[in-house]
Amino acid sequence: MKLSSLVLWLARLVAAGIMLQTLFFKFTAAPESVYIFSTLNMEPGGRIASGGAELLASVLLLIPRTSWMGALLGVGIMIGAIGAHLTVLGIEIQGDGGLLFAYALAVLVTCLYVLAVSYRQVVATIRYPGRWRQFVVWLVILGGLSGCAKDPELTPVGTVDKPVSTTDNTKLFDATGQQLLVEGMFMNNVHTVKGTVKVYEKAGKRTILFENFSTDGGPDLRIYLAEDTSLTNFIEVQKLTNTGSFFLEAPASFNPSRQRTILIWCKAYSVLYGHAKLQ
């Protein structure tokens, strides 16, 4: 094998290898990946779409005939990643010593090398546009994967003066005879969550009231009750569907003297969006 061919293979392997090794962290919602895309206000859709794009670029890079396509896609992805580092994230992220930034630079350089060496294929494709069809097909597939990552929207309901039921938005909260047991304010974890939450009791029945509540969107968000943010003795109350001011019935097994934490939890990816300590 000629030295030039060996170097080209090495460049393709380095670029694909770096992108592939990051996929585990993106697709499993590792805390560092969630932090990055939350900071960019692109969690989780941007994280999943980015992982899909890098997977596609890696596959194309490893196939000799389409390696230039993967390199072109890789250059676009890395320009975006480097731009995010320089404008929002910073060179160093959570004490990584600039490792992720270095990875992005390495992929950019190797992809540019693959493009430079493959210039004849690129020129031929420009001259014969029909050859773009396979690249377009891959991009359509990627677009479909990105569309699947779209988060369900939360519906704003109620006001502080007129909170409504999550099951019937025409039913208002009746404060008559209600005893306030505990209350708390939401705090951020990996996402922005705001508002207050209160637990009332009347005739042995407990109600959880959310006021001016808001959160970043996400897939499969749930309301949990637990002893702490580690989900000790947790109870899943229901799926989160609303923002604003609303109330819901607390589970019969809820013990407010022990389970003093309310969590907004992404069940699909095991990510804690935010929580409130009840006092």
- Could you state, in order of their start, the residue ranges of all structural domains in the chain? 3-146, 179-277
DSSP 231-252: -TT-EEEEE--EEEEEEEEPPT
For tokens 């941007």, name the residue.
46
Helices (H), 85-212: 99-117, 119-127, 133-148
Tell me what the mean pLDDT of segment 180-209 comes to: 94
Q: H or E stretch including 38?
A: helix 31-39
The rounded mean pLDDT for the chain is 86
For tokens 């969107």, name the residue.
217
Tell me if the pTM is above 0.95: no
Q: What share of the chain is helix, strand, coil (3-state, %, to 5)?
A: 45, 25, 30
- d(CA 86, CA 98) in angstroms, rounded, equals 11
- d(CA 132, CA 83) in angstroms, rounded, equals 27
Judge residue 110's burial from the number of C-beta atoms within 10 Å of its C-beta, 0-12 exposed, 13-18 middle, 19 or more buried.
buried
| The predicted structure's pLDDT at residue 111 | 93
Confidence of residue 1 (pLDDT cuts 50, 70, 90): low
Tell me what the mean pLDDT of segment 146-159 comes to: 71
Q: Residue 21 corresponds to which tokens in the numbers above?
A: 């090794």
Confidence of residue 138 (pLDDT cuts 50, 70, 90): low
How many helices (H) and strands (E) in the chain?
A: 7, 10
Kindly tell me if the per-residue pLDDT of 46 is higher than 90: no
- d(CA 272, CA 279) in angstroms, rounded, equals 20
Distances (CA, A) of 13 to 57, 100, 115: 12, 18, 14
Q: What are phi and psi of 251, to 5 degrees?
A: -60, 150
| The predicted structure's pLDDT at residue 277 | 96
More confident residue, 198 or 65: 198
* Lowest-pLDDT choice from 82-96, 113-127, 158-172, 244-258: 113-127
The SS3 of residue 278 is coil
